[in-house]
C-alpha cells in the first residue's frame, strides 16, 4: 500500500486508484520557449521515479504529458507576455521553430537523466478542436461567459474554488501581486481566460477559428482537455511543480469538474522547488542552470539525478556546486563498490526478501527516495552473496534509474583493460654499464627477472634477498614502470 502526500487533502493518503490495478497519471509538461533549467528537470525526475515506483509496486500506469506550445503567459494568469512569442522574438524565429527546437532539447535532457518519456506526449497545438469542444460545453452549462471578445471561466459558479490555498486568499490576485495590469473584463478576480480572441498580442502568430472568433486557447484549458480526452473522465494522479498548484491546477480542477459534472482527480502530487543560494531559479529572468552547463563543467548528468534522489521531493532543495561535488564523489564510490562485485551466479531469493522489503517500504512511504538509496547501500553492506547483491541493485535501479549497473560494467571493463595493458607490457632489463661481460649480463638479468616474479607474487622477502645479493655483487639497480636498469 503506497501512501502519498496529497496537496488536495494536505495529508498523506493511501493511494487508491479508480480501477484496481490500473493508474492514470497526468504531468504538466514543459513550456517550450527555452531550455529546461535543472529545477524543472528535478520535477520531471521525481515524476519519473513516481511512475516507475507505481509500476514496480504493481500498477499498470497509463501516463500523459502535454507540451505547452501556446497560451502560457508570463504571469501564469492572464497577464504578461506570451512565453512562446517571447522566445520567438528573442531568437528571431517563428513560434513553431522555437517549439520544435526546445521540445527536442527537453527530450535530450530527459534521455541523459534517464527520465522515461510518458506513453502519451501531446503538444497543445495538436488538440485545438478538443479545447473548443470543452469550452462550448462550459458555456452551455453556464460556467463560462464571453466578455470583450474573450471567453472566461466564471469561478463564482463553483461551490468550491480555492482548493490548493484555502488560507492564502491574497495569493489569488496574481495579476495585482505581480504589478501587472488587471483584466477589467473579468466578472470575478479569480475568473480566467479559456479562449482569447481579443488580445493585446496583435502579432500572435498562431491563431485558430472558433465559434467566438479567430484566436487561441488559454493555458489551463489545455491540461484539462488533454487529460480528459487521453486518460478518461477519472484521473488517478496529477503531478507538477509546486508553482503549478495555483492558479494552474486550481483552474484545471474547476474546468474539468464543471465539464464532467463529477469529481475528477483525487490525488495531487507537487514537487517542491530547486533553489540556488541566491533564491529561486527562473527562466524568465534568464538566470538559470541547464544540464548542458553541468556537463560542460564535467559532471555526469546521472550525478545530478543522484543528487536529487538523495532528498525528498516535498522539500525544497538548494543547489550548490559543493553539493554536486559531494554527490559526484559518492556516486563514483558507489559505482566502484558495485564494480567490485563478482558477476554471474543465481540470486538467493530468501536472502533478498528483507532487503527488498526496506526498499519497498521507502517507496511506499511518500516516495522517500533518500531512504530508497539507503536501502541500496544496505544491500552492499549486507553479508549476502554477490549474485544476490547485483540482482537487487539492478532491481532497485529500475526505479531509481541511476545507471548503476551500466556504470559499474564500464568501470569494470576499464579496470580490466588497464590491468591487461600493464601485464602485457614487456618487462625489460637494461644494463647501464658499457662493456660488461655477457656472462655477467645474463646472470644479473636472471636474478632481476626472478626478483620481478617474486614481487608480482607479493613475496617481498625473496625480492629483498635478491636485491641484497646484487648489492653484495656491487650492482646497483633502478626500478622503472615496466622494468629495471642496473649498473
Ligand atoms: P514550465 O516549463 O515553466 O512550465 O515548468 C515546467 C515544470 O517545472 C513545472 O512542473 C513547474 O512547476 C516546474 N518548476 C518550475 N520551476 C521550478 C524549480 N525551480 N524547481 C523545480 N520545479 C520547477
Ligand atoms: Zn498543466
Give the Å distance between the CA of 436 and the centre of ligand 2.
Answer: 85
Q: What is the DSSP string of 101-123?
A: HHHHHHHHHHHHTTPPPPSEEEE
Q: What is the CATH number of domain 3-271?
A: 3.40.50.620
Question: Whose Cα sits closest to atom 14 in ligand 1?
Answer: 40
127 burial class (0-12, 13-18, 19+ CB within 10 angstroms)? buried
* Residue 74 alpha carbon to ligand 2 centre in Å: 14
- pLDDT value at 288 more than 90: no
Whether residue 170 has pLDDT greater than 50: no
Condensed to tens digits (0 to 9), the pLDDT of residues 22-42 reads 999 999 999 999 999 999 999
Give yes or no for residue 29 CB within 6 A of ligand 1: no
In short, whether 243's Cβ falls inside 6 Å of ligand 1 is yes
Does the pLDDT of residue 335 top 70, yes or no?
yes
Q: Decide whether any atom of ligand 1 lies within 6 Å of the 230 Cβ.
A: no
Residue nearest to atom 23 of ligand 1 (CA): 40
Per-residue pLDDT reduced to its tens digit, 400-440: 999 999 999 999 998 888 888 776 667 788 887 777 788 88
Predicted confidence at residue 339, as pLDDT, reads: 96
| pLDDT greater than 60 at residue 175 | no
Per-residue confidence band for 345, with pLDDT thresholds at 50, 70 and 90: very high
| pLDDT top residue among 143 and 203 | 143
pTM of the entire predicted model? 0.85
Q: What is the mean pLDDT of residues 366-389?
A: 98
Cell of 223: 491540461
Which residues share a beta bridge with 65?
27, 121
Name the grid cell of 369.
527516495
Instruction: Answer whether 43 contacts ligand 1 (Cβ < 6 A).
Output: yes
Q: Classify residue 56 by burial, with Cβ atoms within 10 Å: 0-12, 13-18, 19+.
A: middle
Cα–Cα distance measured from residue 248 to residue 241, given in angstroms and rounded to the nearest whole number: 11
Rounded to whole angstroms, the Cα distance separating 328 from 307 reads 8
| Distances 424 to 99, 381, 473, 478 between C-alpha atoms, Å | 54, 35, 31, 21
Q: How much of the chain exceeds pLDDT 90, in percent?
A: 66
Residue extents of the structural domains in the chain: 3-271, 291-413, 427-486
Considering the domain 291-413 in this protein, what is its CATH number? Answer: 1.20.120
pLDDT at site 178: 43
Which grid cell is 486?
642496473
- 215 CB near ligand 1 (under 6 Å): no
Cell of 220: 489551463
Same fold, 3-271 and 291-413: no
User: What are the DSSP calls for 296-317, one per residue?
Assistant: HTT--HHHHHHHHHTS-TTS-E
Distance in Å, CA 252 to ligand 2 centroid: 7
Residue 18 near ligand 1, beta carbon < 6 Å: no
Q: Which residues surround ligand 2, an ion (CB under 5 A)?
A: 28, 223
Amino acid at each position: 500500500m503506497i501512501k502519498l502526500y496529497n496537496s488536495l487533502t494536505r495529508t498523506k493518503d493511501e493511494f487508491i486508484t479508480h480501477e484496481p490495478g490500473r493508474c492514470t497519471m497526468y504531468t504538466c509538461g514543459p513550456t517550450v520557449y527555452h531550455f529546461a533549467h535543472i529545477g524543472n528537470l528535478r520535477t520531471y525526475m521525481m515524476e519519473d521515479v513516481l511512475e516507475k515506483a507505481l509500476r514496480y509496486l504493481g500498477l499498470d500506469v497509463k501516463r500523459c504529458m502535454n507540451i505547452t506550445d501556446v497560451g502560457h503567459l508570463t504571469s501564469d494568469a492572464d497577464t504578461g507576455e506570451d512565453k512562446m512569442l517571447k522566445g520567438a522574438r528573442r531568437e528571431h524565429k517563428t513560434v513553431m521553430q522555437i517549439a520544435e527546437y526546445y521540445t527536442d532539447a527537453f527530450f535530450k535532457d530527459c534521455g541523459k537523466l534517464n527520465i522515461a518519456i510518458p506513453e502519451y506526449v501531446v503538444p497543445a497545438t495538436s488538440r485545438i478542436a478538443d479545447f473548443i469542444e470543452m469550452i462550448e460545453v462550459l458555456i452551455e452549462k453556464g460556467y463560462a461567459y464571453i466578455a470583450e471578445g474573450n471567453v472566461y471561466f466564471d469561478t463564482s459558479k463553483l461551490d468550491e474554488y480555492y482548493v490548493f490555498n484555502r488560507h492564502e486568499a491574497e495569493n489569488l490576485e496574481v495579476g495585482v501581486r505581480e504589478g501587472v495590469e488587471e483584466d477589467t473584463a473579468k466578472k470575478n478576480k479569480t475568473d480566467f481566460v479559456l479562449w482569447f480572441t481579443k488580445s493585446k498580442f496583435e502579432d500572435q502568430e498562431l491563431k485558430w477559428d472558433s465559434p467566438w472568433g479567430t484566436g487561441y486557447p488559454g493555458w489551463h484549458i489545455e491540461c484539462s482537455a488533454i487529460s480528459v480526452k487521453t486518460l478518461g473522465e477519472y484521473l488517478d494522479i496529477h503531478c507538477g511543480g509546486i508553482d503549478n498548484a495555483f492558479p494552474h491546477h486550481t483552474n484545471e480542477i474547476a474546468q474539468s469538474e464543471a465539464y464532467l459534472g463529477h469529481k475528477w482527480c483525487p490525488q495531487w502530487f507537487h514537487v517542491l522547488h530547486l533553489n540556488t543560494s541566491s533564491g529561486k531559479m527562473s527562466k524568465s529572468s534568464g538566470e538559470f542552470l541547464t544540464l548542458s552547463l553541468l556537463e560542460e563543467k564535467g559532471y555526469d548528468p546521472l550525478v545530478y539525478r543522484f543528487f536529487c534522489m538523495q532528498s525528498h521531493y516535498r522539500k525544497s532543495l538548494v543547489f550548490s556546486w559543493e553539493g554536486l561535488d559531494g554527490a559526484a564523489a559518492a556516486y563514483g564510490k558507489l559505482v566502484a563498490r558495485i564494480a567490485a562485485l563478482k558477476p554471474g551466479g543465481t540470486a538467493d531469493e530468501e536472502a533478498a526478501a528483507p532487503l527488498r522489503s526496506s526498499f519497498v517500504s521507502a517507496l511506499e512511504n511518500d516516495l522517500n527516495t533518500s531512504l530508497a538509496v539507503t536501502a541500496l547501500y544496505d544491500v552492499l553492506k549486507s553479508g549476502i552473496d554477490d549474485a544476490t547483491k547485483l540482482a537487487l541493485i539492478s532491481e532497485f535501479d529500475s526505479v531509481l534509474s541511476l545507471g548503476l549497473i551500466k556504470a559499474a560494467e564500464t568501470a569494470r571493463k576499464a579496470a580490466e583493460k588497464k590491468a591487461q595493458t600493464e601485464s602485457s607490457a614487456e618487462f625489460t632489463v637494461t644494463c647501464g654499464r658499457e662493456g660488461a661481460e655477457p656472462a655477467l649480463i645474463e646472470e644479473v638479468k636472471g636474478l632481476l627477472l626472478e626478483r620481478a616474479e617474486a614481487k608480482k607474487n607479493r613475496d617481498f622477502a625473496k625480492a629483498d634477498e635478491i636485491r641484497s645479493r646484487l648489492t653484495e655483487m656491487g650492482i646497483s639497480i633502478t626500478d622503472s614502470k615496466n622494468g629495471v636498469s642496473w649498473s
